[in-house]
Copies of this chain bind each other. A is one copy, B any other.
């Protein structure tokens, strides 16, 4: 087990630590107390059915109870559909009935869905109470940095939300052992993305350690999550000074979001869609003058961690182009793209021609 890795996310007054290691859930009670979480005010744990079926929830509850906390638990259905105002209101009801007050804390035990949902409850209950994240997916390394919390509206994803920084993040690597294989790769997609935008050495490391990552080796996973969180934290905390820097986190997302929309969200996981999107962005970069290697390395490392890198032939090019137009980054024949000019370095290009993007989509379909 040993000592966990610790990363401090620098958000000025609202800075917070991310602990990454094994067995952190069993230490939750101690860490909550250390971080000044009040023993007097009830705590609400929010988790989903899948996670509640394992033993992590029971461990978390007993660790907190042993430390003297009053704990209540709300279990929501697994999946994106729980990020709704309906489930949000149910959680507020639960919080009221459990007597949560201004000094209470809400704990998200789960992936990005539970984190975003419980985080928005914490952001708005009594105009904001404390929030702790205990992520159980690899993808959640992304949502545990930056403070974005939200629920969906039937017409748009993540449209109702807030910025609400957690008090701390306890990333217990043991929880990841039960994660379905497809979710592992999908989560690694954002990990690799953080390398591609910021750190060429880390991209090389992902390539070399792909087998260990897929085998959920705790040492490799811990390092990868630490690096992934570090890059996101660096970008997000610099963003307040360098305007729009945060946009570089959207590498692969312009095409990726369009593919998700056209393929249907059940067909293609978010991480899978942006994997294909990153390959597309790399191709675009080469067209715009980057070395061919940007494309080959991007494609190689993503397939190494089990991700799709080809564009499904059955997706209609017109529909894909239309979906991109809805993505707001599109204006009169040209669009904004995050372009990987080299491995580990991206640029924001505001005038990529839509016809060039169409050409790339077509080419990718031919190779598929």
In terms of DSSP, what is the predominant structure of the interface of chain A?
mixed
- Give bound CA distance, A162 to B162, whole Å: 9
* Residue among B126, B148, B154 making CB contact with A127, cutoff 8 Å: B148
Residue of B nearest to A154 (CB): B93
- Could you say which residues of chain B place their CB within 8 Å of the CB of A162? 123-124, 127-128, 162
Q: Is the CB of A127 within 8 A of B150?
A: yes
- Give bound CA distance, A45 to B97, whole Å: 35
- Give bound CA distance, A217 to B152, whole Å: 47
Q: Is the CB of B92 within 8 A of A160?
A: yes
- Give bound CA distance, A123 to B124, whole Å: 10
* Residue among B124, B126, B128, B156 making CB contact with A124, cutoff 8 Å: B124
- Could you say which residues of chain B place their CB within 8 Å of the CB of A127? 148, 150, 161-163
- Could you say which residues of chain B place their CB within 8 Å of the CB of A156? 96
Contact A85-B96, Cβ < 8 Å, known A127-B161, A148-B127, A161-B124: no
Contact A125-B160, Cβ < 8 Å, known A101-B328, A328-B101: yes
Tell whether A153 is near chain B: CB-to-CB under 8 Å. yes
Tell whether A159 is near chain B: CB-to-CB under 8 Å. yes
* Residue among B125, B154, B161 making CB contact with A159, cutoff 8 Å: B125
- Give bound CA distance, A175 to B123, whole Å: 34
Contact A89-B153, Cβ < 8 Å, known A96-B159, A101-B328, A123-B162: yes
CB distance from A206 to the nearest CB of B (A): 31
Tell whether A155 is near chain B: CB-to-CB under 8 Å. yes
Q: Is the CB of B92 within 8 A of A159?
A: yes
A residues with a Cβ closer than 8 A to B are 85, 88-89, 92-93, 96-97, 101, 123-128, 148, 150, 153-156, 159-163, 328
Q: List 25 A-B contacts (CB under 8 A).
A: A85-B85, A85-B88, A85-B89, A89-B153, A92-B153, A92-B159, A92-B160, A93-B155, A96-B153, A96-B155, A96-B156, A96-B159, A97-B155, A101-B328, A124-B124, A124-B160, A124-B162, A125-B160, A126-B159, A126-B161, A127-B150, A127-B161, A127-B163, A128-B162, A128-B163
